[in-house]
Amino acid sequence: MDIRNTSSFLSTLTAGSASATTKNRLEYTPPADEGINLKEAIEGGKAYQEMQDQRHAEFRKIWGDNLDNILKLAQSAEDHLSAGFQGFENFKEKQAVEHPNIDIDSLDVALEDGQLKLSALDVNGQPISDKQLAAIEEDFLKEKELVESLTLGLSELTESIANATSSLAIDNDLEFSSEGIVKESRFSLNELVSEYNQYFERTYKAASEREGTILDGSDKMVPITEKYQTFTERLERGGLELFSIFNFAQQKDSEPVNIYSIIDTKA
């Protein structure tokens, strides 16, 4: 299926799209609600902005402005994958009803030859039949927005990681389809969720954030890994920028790289 046959899809990979994403974040305004104290709402908006600024500052301190393309791709991938993950979870719930013999947690999606391919196991841990998989794929391809989000997200994330390896003179075998989509994704969706959760646990294991407000005496420090528990929450908190960079050491068919020695050379 060619999802890149319109100019609207091509525009999502341009710098303009990434800039718009960044602008929307910087202009974040807490939703209006009659029950929200104005001062608390303003503080919430400032806290969100500070979180975004901190993420960007961490990225730029290590790598510098010359790797902005990696940042833009990672930010665009984050938006697409956040929507794609939630949409795929909804899709899995529907398939669980229609196919009760499937281990629904095993239902996965990855980019192969520039297109999304599904895979799943039955409740006994065996691959489902080709006929059943074809029926699920038929339903999946009808979800055009979901297919677009996952295709672009997995492609952009893989390209962001590949750009990081290229910046460090590490060979990679990245190839693109005629539509500009990465042919083979770095992760399947399930692999991404698993690896990102591990990355998040390592990165924030000793960090805490304030919860509540000083005004009403409900403020307290909460471990970040406890405050953000779902993949969607963690993705919004941690982003994909540094995740993309640090995963160059995990590239297949590549020797492990000492990240700390490279950071020293970039300082």
Q: pLDDT band at 64, cuts 50/70/90? A: low
Mean pLDDT of the chain: 77
- The pTM of this model reads 0.66
Q: What are the tens digits of pLDDT across the range 227-250?
A: 999 999 999 999 998 888 776 545
CA–CA gap between residue 72 and residue 25 (Å, rounded): 13
The dihedral of CA 158, 159, 163, 169: what is its sign?
Answer: positive
| Residue bearing the bigger pLDDT, 75 or 7 | 75
Distances 177 to 112, 182, 267 between C-alpha atoms, Å: 10, 6, 36
Kindly state the helix (H) or strand (E) to which residue 237 belongs, with its residue range: helix 231-238
**Burial of 100 per CB tally in 10 Å (0-12, 13-18, 19+):** exposed
Average pLDDT rounded to a whole number, residues 164-175 = 59
The residue ranking higher by pLDDT, 149 or 264, is: 149
